[in-house]
Structure 1
């Protein structure tokens, strides 16, 4: 049993496909299969069950997958830290997050971090969903992820930073503008602009609305919160979006954000495989961004980081 055997096995369990892993690793499917067979010979049990559309781990496979995934994650982090020590360089920070996150949550923190650590390499990988960010962490493509936090994820540690209240973005000439706040019932008459279909924020919003007896049928869909607000500003509909920490009403004189307090705020923050195994500059980067956000966030909007 080698570390490479375990890496391949974990990748197969995660993807559910021998051929997909073979493509990703630039190997033959037979070579990938041999890694799994070697493990099966050593443990004396079948680890994978063949299905019409791929493979799935057996009960024994699930046990080995859980242990191997956690162990490999720790080894990868340790090897990265050892590499930084060997190189004697400033190190690197790899962050995965959504397309507009740096603008709304990290811009001040990135500048402050860069001023203190000019030699550190900063790498940002854009994902379209929190799930994609978690997958990037698991595959060791990133050290940190800034995500919408929901249920616990196996092998991932989460740290909440901010609670973002939900607002309805409307034009200032809209009948709903000027209200101190809105009830869920007020949302039944809006022309909703849909948030990204695979995003955690949309799932969070729809679940809450459903529990309040409200169902929205978007007539327009967007890829991010910025575009939703822009379309509302153009009069193409209404956007239920979280209030962003850098929102400047003076820059948007024709749009108003009206609170919807019945909706539970959206929790956002950091995720990492193991916080105590991060290299020092990655932890410092996360702390710098967190500190800046908490200083600028309105009272009541801070998380628990």
Structure 2
């Protein structure tokens, strides 16, 4: 049993496919299978169950996968910290997040961090959802994940940075565009541009609508907040999205109006890591830099809002480092 055997086995369990892991590792499916077979010979139990569309771990396989994943993540973290000790202030910080997150949440922080640590290598890996970010983080190849916070995830620690209030994006010629704020009841019956059902932000918004008794129709869905805003601008419907850093709320300029919806529970976003106490000093510094920048930027975005509950909720729910 080798470390490579365990790494490959964990990757297969997460991907649910031998061929997918073979493509990722640029090797043959037979080579991937040999790693699993070697583990099965040494443990004396079947670790994978073959299905028509891939594989799933058996009960014994899940036990080994969980233990191996925890051990590999800890080892990788230790090796990176040793590398930072050797390299001094020239290590690497590895971050995973959604496609538009760096622009909205990290732009100023990346510049500030680079100015203070010019020799540090920043690596960004794009994922399509918070769930994918959690999986990539648990795989042990990354330091930090910027996510929409959800329920507890085994082996992952989450830390809230800021709560984003929701806004309604409408064209300036829409009857709702003249409002200073939109009540939840006003959302009933609107044609909504939906966020992905598999996204944490989309699920939280749907849950809030259900709890508040809001019914809306939808014939358009998008993969990210920016696309929702673009389609709203094109007149394909209304978009309920978080108040993103750098955008004024309300927004009196341009073809869109962004109107606060203070009756919706805000969206918590922040960092996820395997273990905060195991983060390298450089990764912790980057996380703190982003947290400070985001808290300031979101507060500034709503500073001119005429809807005091929105501005107050952001100011009150923007924790700093700690």
Is the pair's TM-score, using the shorter chain for normalization, greater than 0.5? yes
For residue 286 of structure 1, report the CA deviation from its aligned partner. Answer: 0.4
Alignment partners' CA distance in 2, 1:196 and 1:42: 43
- The one-character-per-residue Cα deviations of 1:62-91 (angstroms, maximum 9, x if unpaired) are 111111111101111111222333345511
Task: Please say if residues 97 and 124 of structure 2, whose CA atoms lie closer than 8 Å, have aligned partners that are also in contact.
Answer: yes
Q: Note the 1:1-305 alignment, pairs <5 A.
A: 1-88=1-88, 90-248=90-248, 252-296=253-297, 297=299, 298-303=314-319
SS at match of 2:175: coil
For residue 33 of structure 1, report the CA deviation from its aligned partner. Answer: 2.4
Q: Which piece of structure 1 moves more, 68-77 or 46-55?
A: 46-55
Alignment partners' CA distance in 1, 2:198 and 2:157: 22
For residue 51 of structure 1, report the CA deviation from its aligned partner. Answer: 2.1
For residue 197 of structure 1, report the CA deviation from its aligned partner. Answer: 4.7
Q: Report the RMSD for the aligned CA atoms in angstroms.
A: 2.3
For residue 146 of structure 1, report the CA deviation from its aligned partner. Answer: 0.8
Alignment partners' CA distance in 2, 1:303 and 1:201: 20
Q: 1:32 to 1:246 in 2, by over 3 A?
A: same
- Unmatched tracts of structure 2, length 5 or more: 300-313
Scaled by the length of structure 2, what TM-score is found? 0.85
Comparing both chains, which one has the higher relative contact order based on Cα–Cα distances under 8 Å and sequence gaps of 6 or more?
1
- Unmatched tracts of structure 1, length 5 or more: none
Scaled by the length of structure 1, what TM-score is found? 0.90
Task: Please say if residues 191 and 237 of structure 2, whose CA atoms lie closer than 8 Å, have aligned partners that are also in contact.
Answer: yes
